[in-house]
Amino acid sequence: MRDVRKYEVFKRADGLVMDVYKLTASFPNSEIFGLTSQMRRAASSIPMNLAEGAARSGAKEFAQFINVAVGSCEEVRYQIHLATALGYVPAETARTLDAGYEDVKKMLAGLLARVTGRSSKL
């Protein structure tokens, strides 16, 4: 069984979840069931899918969960863009978060390549 907590990509994604939770705490109350909720779910989906996938027995199953995590990563990146456009997030904060998620995406691609034995291009 894999211990996902030892994976650097899990640690990085987990840290970004904390950043998203802190950031969205300042969003308007009108977004509590909208963008706030969506961003938190998408951000937390990344380490959650890594954890669930790592608990599966086969590489093929683990790869499926890594792919879902990649999709969630891109979802958060769009939500950061949207929150910035709506004036909820300062541009510099958005750039920093986006760069963090781009790094996580690259790390996920590397993990996927190791799990499947294929190229790491996403």
How far apart are alpha carbons 98 and 77 in whole angstroms?
A: 6
How far apart are alpha carbons 46 and 107 in whole angstroms?
A: 12
User: What is the fold, at CATH topology level, of the domain defined by 4-116?
Assistant: de novo design (two linked rop proteins) (1.20.1440)
pLDDT in tens, 83-94: 999 999 999 999
- In this predicted structure, what is the pLDDT of residue 118? 77
Domain ranges in the chain are 4-116
> Tokens 């999709």 appear where?
71
| Residue 122, pLDDT above cutoff 60 | no
pTM above 0.85, yes or no: yes
pLDDT in tens, 93-106: 999 999 999 999 99
